[in-house]
Structure 1
Amino acid sequence: MLRLIGCLPFVVNRWLATFIGHLVAAFPSEARRVSEINLGLCYPELSPVERRRLARQSLVESIKNTFEIALFWSRPNSGMQRIQSVDGGEALQAAVDAGQPVMILAPHLGCWEVLNFWLADHYDLHVMFAPSGLPEVDNLVREGREHFGSTMYPTTARGVAGLVRAMRKGAMTAILPDQVPDRRSGRHADFYGHSAYTGTLACKLIQQTGARPFMAWAQRLPGTQGFELRFRPAEESIADADLDASLSALNRSIEALINEGPEQYLWSYKRFRRPPEGKRAPY
């Protein structure tokens, strides 16, 4: 199915995704329920009507993301051709020119695959890859992500060690910082005023390598216009030796990025599914 979607022209891909997205958003579903719960927690200042509207917009954008990455995994050059502008790239380039390792922190916002392509095409990008367990899907993802020369590492201790070695030599890496990690790889930190189990890998890598952290996302432009890449320096205290302070700074940086385009965030993701001991998940 992913390869079939990847055969569609971009205009047809976007039209079909928008149509299906509005259908999905119009009817009750688990994704819509979770989105509304998350938005109630993270944007309590919005009215119920505004939160429902934002939840539905987010679902439409999520379907667009699914369809477009199916196309871009099959035809990576098509994704690169859709990048219209880059906002904030000067500071990123300055850090690279200074010989610093750079860490890109890209939450589930906009089209992260297009961002991956651009970074791999412009820099020495090293990233981790967690297999899905479906060889055909994994091969498709690898074909797309490695097309522009990125180096992939398994999500194992050996893979992390390889990534650290590359970063100490000045390589760039990119991490999805808002994924809920397993029980051994995270700690609770404030996220939009609520405790969220947050992965420690990004903060520990920054501390170990001295990497300069940047927040980034690929904003989906209206219609079929394409994408604008956006880069923002993360809070400096992400590098704090106190891990709790570092994680709080990480989540504040994620919040600031999401607030640039909340309708393009994956609100259907159960970000608060691992609450502190003695508390219940909101879902």
Structure 2
Amino acid sequence: MERPRFRRAFLHPRFWLLWLGLGLLWLIIQLPYRVLLALGRLLGMVMLRMASDRRAIAARNLELCFPQWTVKERERVLKENFASSGIALLEMAMSWWWPPARLRRLAHIEGLEHLQQAQKDGNGVILMALHFTTLEIGAALLGQRHTIDGMYREHGNPVFDYIQRRGRERHNRDATAIEREDVRAMLKVLRAGRAIWYAPDQDYGAKQSLFVPLFGIPAATVTATTKFARLGRALVMPFTQERLADGSGYRLVIHPPLDGFPGESEEADCLRINQWIERQVSQLPEQYLWAHRRFKTRPVGEPKLYAKRR
């Protein structure tokens, strides 16, 4: 995709309110980092009260995935999860607009040598990530150290789309934004020995998925990870990130490539991925994106797990 360009149409009065909101957000993120963490938590508490649909989905997911927890434990994690989501909004703006040097001070990166070795050997890499609330700032921090291509879906608002793409791509001047449905472009990038950010942990329907257990529940799990690895002749390298509790920034970990992947079958690969997802999410449930209806697609004859949206 070509680089985003400013257009005069973006100055139309219908976008003025959005520009005003973005300007206010820019001003807020000039505050010290620890103040932003506190403001983000406060914003998250407002979201917890106001976003009833998202709160219900997140609560239901926690109930499904951690039935062994007490009600009080799930309520605590739900509250912390919304606090993390509030912080994520400010982290998004930080990753778009903070000076690179200021942003770089927050990064604690481990395992970068795995990406560098793959690049040296000419191997493409599927950087297998998860939808943690820190995904936006995590990608920005890693992008400062290594070129990462990414899957992209155009936003419905052209001004927001312009700001978002411009903010993301400033850390990766050599990066490629690939339309999510453009399989040919993704394979081309992998065969060229590049690394691409990819998260297989959401429900994209039954058409391109297999039902494989996730936290003991049959979950529609995309088989694309196997297909991309095989056809793109690429390594699958898990990537995790977390916001550190002491306020010192973010820990990013690039794990060694998965051995023997692709495996003997797509089902075995999907199960392996879901088991990895379970381990990572269980270690940091407060920072995972629970507001996604992960189990909305059900096997034939199985009852739905979520209440109807209001």
TM-score (norm 2): 0.82
Question: Which residue of structure 2 aligns with residue 155 of structure 1?
Answer: 180
Instruction: Check 1:120–1:261 CA distance in 2 against 1; reply closer, same or farther (3 A cut).
Output: same
**What displacement does 1:123 show?**
2.9
**What displacement does 1:273 show?**
0.9
Correspondence 1:202 to 2:225: yes
Correspondence 1:230 to 2:253: yes
Measure, in 1, the Cα distance between the counterparts of 2:287 and 2:293: 16
1:96 is matched by which residue type in structure 2? Q
* Structure 1 portions without partners, runs of 5+: none
Question: Does the 8 Å contact 2:95/2:140 carry over to 1?
Answer: no
Measure, in 2, the Cα distance between the counterparts of 1:28 and 1:146: 30
* Structure 2 portions without partners, runs of 5+: 1-20
Per-residue CA deviations over 1:155-203 (Å, capped at 9, x if unaligned) read 23xx321221121121111112212214433232211111111222222
Correspondence 1:117 to 2:140: yes
**What displacement does 1:139 show?**
0.8
Question: Which residue of structure 2 aligns with residue 90 of structure 1?
Answer: 113
Matches within 5 A, 1:1-283: 1-8=21-28, 9-11=30-32, 12-25=35-48, 29-75=52-98, 77=100, 80-148=103-171, 149=173, 150-156=175-181, 159-222=182-245, 224-233=247-256, 235-236=258-259, 238-283=261-306
Instruction: Check 1:238–1:208 CA distance in 2 against 1; reply closer, same or farther (3 A cut).
Output: same
| Identity in percent | 26
Per-residue CA deviations over 1:49-103 (Å, capped at 9, x if unaligned) read 1111111111110111122103322346277324331133333433333332111
Instruction: Check 1:72–1:119 CA distance in 2 against 1; reply closer, same or farther (3 A cut).
Output: closer
Per-residue CA deviations over 1:201-238 (Å, capped at 9, x if unaligned) read 22210121232212223311236422111222465354
Bigger mean CA offset, 129-138 vs 107-116: 107-116
TM-score (norm 1): 0.89
Measure, in 1, the Cα distance between the counterparts of 2:64 and 2:272: 19
Bigger mean CA offset, 145-154 vs 84-93: 84-93
Question: Does the 8 Å contact 2:62/2:290 carry over to 1?
Answer: yes
Instruction: Check 1:119–1:20 CA distance in 2 against 1; reply closer, same or farther (3 A cut).
Output: closer
2:25 is matched by which residue type in structure 1? I
Bigger mean CA offset, 233-242 vs 174-183: 233-242
Bigger mean CA offset, 233-242 vs 188-197: 233-242
Question: Does the 8 Å contact 2:129/2:198 carry over to 1?
Answer: yes
Instruction: Check 1:207–1:278 CA distance in 2 against 1; reply closer, same or farther (3 A cut).
Output: same
Q: CA RMSD in A?
A: 2.3
Question: Does the 8 Å contact 1:103/1:173 carry over to 2?
Answer: yes
The total of aligned residue pairs comes to 281
Measure, in 2, the Cα distance between the counterparts of 1:221 and 1:212: 28
1:84 is matched by which residue type in structure 2? A
Per-residue CA deviations over 1:239-264 (Å, capped at 9, x if unaligned) read 12411111111111222221231111
For residue 136 of structure 1, give the secondary structure of its aligned residue in structure 2: helix
For residue 299 of structure 2, give the secondary structure of its aligned residue in structure 1: coil
**Bigger radius of gyration among the two:** 2
Question: Does the 8 Å contact 1:238/1:250 carry over to 2?
Answer: no
Measure, in 1, the Cα distance between the counterparts of 2:291 and 2:95: 23
